[in-house]
C-alpha cells in the first residue's frame, strides 16, 4: 500500500515538471520571435530610404531655420532708403508763380477790353517796364472772376433785368415815335408798361447791390481783382443797354 502511494506521488511530480518545462519553452520562443521582428524592422528602415533617391529630405529642425525678424528688418531698411527725406533746402524753395503760359486761355477773355486795360494801367501806375507784371495780374484776375459763380450769377441776373427794361423802352419808342401822338395815348402807353418797368428796375438794383457787396468782400484780399470787377460791371451795363440809361 505504501509502495503504491509513493509511485502515484512520483507520477504527479513528473507531470508537474513537464508542464513547467513546456511553459518555459513557450515563453522563450515568444521572446525569441519578438527579438527577431524588431531586428528586421531596424534593418529594413535604412534600406528603404536608400532605395528611394527621389524622397524629400526631412525638414530641418526649428532651431536651424533663420528667424523671420531678419527678413522684416531688411524690407524696412529698403523702404527707409527709398523714401525721400525733406531737407531745409526743399522748404526754402519759393512757390512756383503763375505765369501766362499756365493761363493762356484767359488771354481772350472779354472781361476787360483795351480801354479797360488802359484805365487799370493808369490807376495802378503800371509803366512799360512793368508790363509783364501787369499782364500776369490781369490774367490771374480774369481767371478768378471767370470761375466765381456767385459773381457771375448776380451779374447775369442784373444784365437780364437791364436787357428786358431796355426792350420795353424800345417798344415804347416804336409806339410813340410815329408822328404826333396825343397826350392820352402817351399816358396810356406809359401806364401799360409802368408796372413792368418798375419791376425790372427793382430787380436790376437788387442785383447791383449784391454785386457791390461781393466786390467789397473781394477787395479785402484782392484789390486788383475788385477793380477789374468794377470795370466789368460798368462796361457790361453800357453794352447791355447802350441807347438808354436805367434809373
Question: How many Cα neighbours within 13 Å face the side chain of 18?
Answer: 6
Q: Is 54 within the bounds of a domain?
A: no
Q: Is 201 within the bounds of a domain?
A: yes
Percentage, residues of the chain above pLDDT 90: 43
Q: Is 25 within the bounds of a domain?
A: no
Residue 180: predicted pLDDT: 72
Q: Is 230 helix (H, G, I), strand (E, B) or coil?
A: helix
Reported as a single tens digit per residue, the pLDDT across 179-190 is 677 888 888 888
Reported as a single tens digit per residue, the pLDDT across 38-50 is 555 554 444 444 4
Q: Is 159 within the bounds of a domain?
A: yes
pTM, full prediction: 0.56
Reported as a single tens digit per residue, the pLDDT across 52-62 is 445 455 444 44
Give the CA distances from residue 235 to residues 74, 114, 208, 227, 232, in Å, rounded to whole numbers and listed in that order.
69, 12, 13, 13, 5
Q: Is 32 within the bounds of a domain?
A: no
Residue 10: predicted pLDDT: 54
Number of domains in the chain: 1
Report the alpha-carbon distance of residue 114 to residue 182 in Å, rounded.
46
Reported as a single tens digit per residue, the pLDDT across 222-235 is 999 999 999 999 99
Domain housing 118: 110-240
Q: What is the mean pLDDT of residues 118-123?
A: 92
- Average pLDDT of the chain is 73
Q: Is 84 within the bounds of a domain?
A: no
Q: Is 11 within the bounds of a domain?
A: no
Distance of CA 242 to the CA centre of its chain: 48
**Which of 71-75, 189-193, 207-211, 216-220 has the weakest average pLDDT?**
71-75
Q: Which carries the bigger pLDDT value, residue 193 or residue 111? A: 193
Q: Is 24 within the bounds of a domain?
A: no
pLDDT confidence band for 92 (50 / 70 / 90) = very low
Amino acid at each position: 500500500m505504501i509502495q503504491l502511494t509513493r509511485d502515484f506521488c512520483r507520477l504527479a511530480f513528473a507531470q508537474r515538471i513537464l508542464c513547467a518545462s513546456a511553459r518555459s519553452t513557450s515563453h522563450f520562443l515568444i521572446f525569441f520571435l519578438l527579438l527577431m521582428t524588431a531586428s528586421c524592422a531596424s534593418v529594413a528602415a535604412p534600406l528603404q530610404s536608400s532605395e528611394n533617391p527621389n524622397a524629400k529630405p526631412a525638414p530641418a529642425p526649428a532651431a536651424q531655420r533663420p528667424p523671420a525678424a531678419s527678413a522684416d528688418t531688411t524690407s524696412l531698411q529698403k523702404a527707409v532708403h527709398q523714401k525721400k527725406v525733406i531737407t531745409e533746402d526743399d522748404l526754402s524753395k519759393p512757390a512756383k508763380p503763375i505765369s501766362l503760359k499756365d493761363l493762356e486761355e484767359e488771354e481772350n477773355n472779354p472781361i476787360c477790353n483795351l480801354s479797360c486795360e488802359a484805365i487799370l494801367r493808369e490807376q495802378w501806375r503800371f509803366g512799360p517796364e512793368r508790363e509783364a507784371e501787369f499782364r500776369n495780374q490781369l490774367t490771374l484776375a480774369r481767371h478768378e472772376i471767370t470761375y466765381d459763380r456767385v459773381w457771375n450769377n448776380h451779374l447775369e441776373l442784373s444784365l437780364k433785368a437791364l436787357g428786358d427794361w431796355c426792350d420795353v423802352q424800345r417798344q415804347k419808342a416804336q409806339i410813340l415815335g410815329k408822328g404826333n401822338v396825343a397826350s392820352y395815348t402817351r399816358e396810356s402807353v406809359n401806364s401799360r408798361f409802368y408796372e413792368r418797368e418798375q419791376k425790372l428796375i427793382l430787380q436790376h438794383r437788387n442785383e447791383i447791390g449784391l454785386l457791390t457787396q461781393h466786390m467789397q468782400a473781394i477787395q479785402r484780399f484782392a484789390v486788383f481783382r475788385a477793380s477789374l470787377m468794377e470795370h466789368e460791371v460798368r462796361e457790361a451795363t453800357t453794352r447791355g443797354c447802350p441807347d438808354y440809361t436805367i434809373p
